[in-house]
């Protein structure tokens, strides 16, 4: 019972991060780049690429959507910011606690939903 509750919470954590990532990507057409959005997105994509390496290219294609129309110099500057680092680190820490099998399921599900 306790293991089931932990798995459910873990799955929800990854699902939440993936959902937040996709919500930020929905705004990809706008030229403004949010440091927290990029940090959350890239931490989630890094995590999913590690959990599901066979689909890593698909995750990075999703990540490119967020950066469409944003100059590389701007993205590089955002990645150097404290807001980016805090968002990246806190997201990575939270979803890093998820069991690998649950993470792979959540990541794969998000990838399939965006095809």
Is it the case that residue 39 has pLDDT exceeding 60? yes
3-state secondary structure of 42: helix
Model pLDDT for residues 66-104, shown as the tens digit of each residue: 788 889 999 999 999 999 999 999 999 998 888 877 877
Please tell me the distance from the alpha carbon of residue 24 to that of residue 101, in angstroms, as a whole number.
Answer: 25
The answer to which of 12-16, 57-61, 78-82, 96-100 has the lowest mean pLDDT is: 12-16
Enter the pTM of the model. 0.69
Report angle CA 95, 98, 104 to the nearest 5 degrees: 95
Domain boundaries, the chain: 2-113
Which bin fits 99, alpha (ψ -120 to 50), beta or left (φ > 0)?
Answer: beta
- CB of 89 closer than 8 Å to CB of 44: no
């Amino acid at each position: 019972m306790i293991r089931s509750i932990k798995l459910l919470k873990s799955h929800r954590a990854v699902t939440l991060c993936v959902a937040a990532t996709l919500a930020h990507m929905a705004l990809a057409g706008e030229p403004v780049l949010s440091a927290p959005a990029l940090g959350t997105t890239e931490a989630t994509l890094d995590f999913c690429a590690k959990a599901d390496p066979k689909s890593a290219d698909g995750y990075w294609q999703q990540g490119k959507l967020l950066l469409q129309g944003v100059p590389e110099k701007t993205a590089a500057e955002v990645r150097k910011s404290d807001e980016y680092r805090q968002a990246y680190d806190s997201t990575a820490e939270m979803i890093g606690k998820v069991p690998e099998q649950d993470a792979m399921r959540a990541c794969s599900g998000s990838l399939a939903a965006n095809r």
